[in-house]
Amino acid sequence: MRVGFIGMGRMGQAMARRLIDAGHDVGIYNRTREKTNPLADAGATIVATVEAAARYGEAVYTMLADDAAVDDVAFQPGGLLQSIPEGAIHICAGTHGIAVIRKLKAAHAARDQVLVAAPMLGRPELVSSGQAGIVASGQLQALERCKPLFDAIGRRTFAAGADPEAATAIKITNNFVLGCAIEAMGEGMSLVRKYGVETGVLYDVMTDGLFNCSAYKLYGKIIVDESYATVGQMATLGLKDADLALYAAGLAGVPLPSGNVWRDRLVGAVAHGDGGKDWAVMALEQARASGLA
């Protein structure tokens, strides 16, 4: 399948490489051209403009960092809205807010284009190994057309219905629950440290019992080892996710008291200069608040 791909950050590179390795014809664009070089060597076609990526195939992926980036790519002169052919599909794979997805949905529909929201569930290394999940929603026919792409990238695609907002809400909520879990682990690690307990002991107790799952194992180990410089999700992007969750909750009239605590820890971490570290650095911020760092 011929497909365009816009956005060569760590996630975008991992996704595009899986498409290439599965035999798809991928035309890639990135504002910083140097980031496309590894994929050119792997067999991708480098295109020079957003317009060229949008017209490369029957679908075009965007994997962009935030709402401002996808809004710019879509609505700039010569951007996606002006360039995608009628009936073609914009697969929006980043973590974005309800408001921008609503805006994109309406704008694409007005031009007889199709929006599919298909955010990824997993860190870049999980995407590279083919073990990440995808949650997808949009027109049923469009989802069927995209199935070979989803199958190439992820281990499972979770069908969320006909409205792109549905997959968006699930992704935001998934990140909310994960972020709160990491924040709670940070609190727990600080609590046991106050009683002279090594954090590794609590980690073993948790992950050998009720919390024996990948999220607690992965992020608990980062907290125990204090390996915050090994970044899967930056704290600044975690803060973006917290803002998206609280905004979505406000629209729907749903209180998220845990979300405010989660966000405050991220704000503190960024204020202390840790915005570029893994978002598990929330545990360090908790340690500071506890007089331990």
Positions annotated as catalytic residues are 171
Residue 162 backbone phi and psi in degrees, to 5: -90, -15
* Cα separation, 100 vs 189, whole angstroms: 37
* Cα separation, 25 vs 57, whole angstroms: 8
Strands 133-136 and 120-121: antiparallel
Find all residues with CB under 8 Å of 121, minimum gap 6, and list them. 132, 133, 134, 135, 154, 158, 171, 174
Residue type, position 134, single letter: I
Say if residues 9 and 33 touch (Cβ distance below 8 Å).
Answer: no
Cα Rg of the chain (Å, integer):
20
* Cα separation, 236 vs 167, whole angstroms: 22
* Cα separation, 32 vs 8, whole angstroms: 8
SS3 97: coil
Residue type, position 238, single letter: G
DSSP state of 279: G
State the sign of the Cα–Cα–Cα–Cα dihedral 220, 221, 222, 225: positive
**Tokens 């990135």 identify what position?**
30
